[in-house]
A and B are shown apart, each in its own frame.
Chain A
Amino acid sequence: MNVVPVYISAGISGFESPAAEYKELGLSLDDLLIEHPDATFVGIAQGDSMEKIGIFSGDALIVDRSLKAKHLDVIVANYNGTFVCKILDLKNRSLLSASPKHNPVNISETDIFQIEGVVPYSIRVLQTNMRLISCMP
Chain B
Amino acid sequence: MYALADITGAYAAMEKVFDASIRFRSVCVLSNNDGCVVAICPMAKKIGVPKFEPYFKIKYFLQKHDVVVRSSNYELYQSISDKMMRVIARFADNHYVYSIDESFLHFDNYKRIIDDWHQYGHVIRRTVWKETRMPIGVGFGPTLTLAKAANHAAKKLDGFDGVAVIDSEPARKAILSRMACDDVWGIGSRLAKRLSLLGVNSALDLANQPPKQMRKHFSVNVERTINELNSIRCLEWDEVKQAKKEIFSTRSVGKRITQKYDLRFALTSHVAIVVRKSRRQGSLIKRISAFAASSPHDDSFFTRSQVYEFPVATSDISVVAAAVLVMLDELYQSGINYYRCGVGAIQLESGEHIQSDLFLKSPDNMKLMDCYDSINKRFGNGSLQLASEGFEKKWSMRRELLSPRYTTAWHHLPKIYC
Pairing of A with B: yes
Asked whether A39 lies within 8 Å of B132 as measured between CB atoms, the reply is yes
Asked whether A66 lies within 8 Å of B415 as measured between CB atoms, the reply is no
Asked whether A45 lies within 8 Å of B23 as measured between CB atoms, the reply is no
Asked whether A60 lies within 8 Å of B413 as measured between CB atoms, the reply is yes
Asked whether A41 lies within 8 Å of B418 as measured between CB atoms, the reply is no
Chain B residues within 8 Å of A36, by CB: 131
Asked whether A38 lies within 8 Å of B417 as measured between CB atoms, the reply is no
* CB of A50 closer than 8 Å to a CB of B: yes
Asked whether B411 lies within 8 Å of A83 as measured between CB atoms, the reply is no
Pick from B22, B23, B87, B133 the residue with the most CB of A within 10 Å. Answer: B133
Chain B residues within 8 Å of A57, by CB: 418
* CB of B21 closer than 8 Å to a CB of A: yes
Asked whether B418 lies within 8 Å of A112 as measured between CB atoms, the reply is no
Q: B412's closest neighbor in chain A, by CB?
A: A135
Chain B residues within 8 Å of A11, by CB: none
Asked whether B416 lies within 8 Å of A84 as measured between CB atoms, the reply is yes
* CB of B83 closer than 8 Å to a CB of A: yes
Digitize B17-36: 1 where CB-to-A-CB distance is under 8 Å, 0 elsewhere. 01011111000000000000
* CB of A94 closer than 8 Å to a CB of B: no
Q: How far apart sit A16 and B130, CA to CA, in the bound complex (Å)?
A: 50
Chain A residues within 8 Å of B415, by CB: 43-44, 46, 83, 135
Asked whether B416 lies within 8 Å of A65 as measured between CB atoms, the reply is no
Q: How far apart sit A16 and B413, CA to CA, in the bound complex (Å)?
A: 44
Chain A residues within 8 Å of B413, by CB: 42-44, 60, 132, 135
**How many residues of B are counted as interface, with CB atoms below 8 angstroms from the partner's CB atoms?**
25
Q: Which of B107-136 contact A (CB under 8 A)?
A: 130-133
Asked whether A81 lies within 8 Å of B20 as measured between CB atoms, the reply is yes
* CB of B86 closer than 8 Å to a CB of A: yes
Q: How far apart sit A59 and B388, CA to CA, in the bound complex (Å)?
A: 42
Asked whether B418 lies within 8 Å of A47 as measured between CB atoms, the reply is yes
Digitize A41-65: 1 where CB-to-B-CB distance is under 8 Å, 0 elsewhere. 1111111111000010100110101
Asked whether B20 lies within 8 Å of A135 as measured between CB atoms, the reply is no
Q: Which of B392-418 contact A (CB under 8 A)?
A: 406-407, 410-418
Pick from A38, A60, A84, A114 the residue with the most CB of B within 10 Å. Answer: A38
Q: Which of A48, A116, A134 contacts B418 (CB 8 A)?
A: A48
Would you give the shortest CB distance from B153 to chain A, in whole angstroms?
28
Q: A98's closest neighbor in chain B, by CB?
A: B418
Would you give the shortest CB distance from A8 to chain B, in whole angstroms?
11
Q: B90's closest neighbor in chain A, by CB?
A: A38
Chain B residues within 8 Å of A43, by CB: 413-416
Closest 3 CB pairs of A and B: A39-B131, A47-B418, A131-B410
- 28 of the cross-chain contacts (CB-CB < 8 Å) are A36-B131, A38-B83, A38-B84, A38-B86, A44-B413, A44-B416, A45-B416, A46-B415, A46-B417, A61-B416, A65-B131, A66-B131, A81-B20, A81-B23, A81-B24, A82-B21, A83-B20, A84-B416, A85-B417, A86-B418, A97-B418, A112-B23, A114-B23, A131-B410, A131-B411, A132-B411, A135-B410, A135-B412
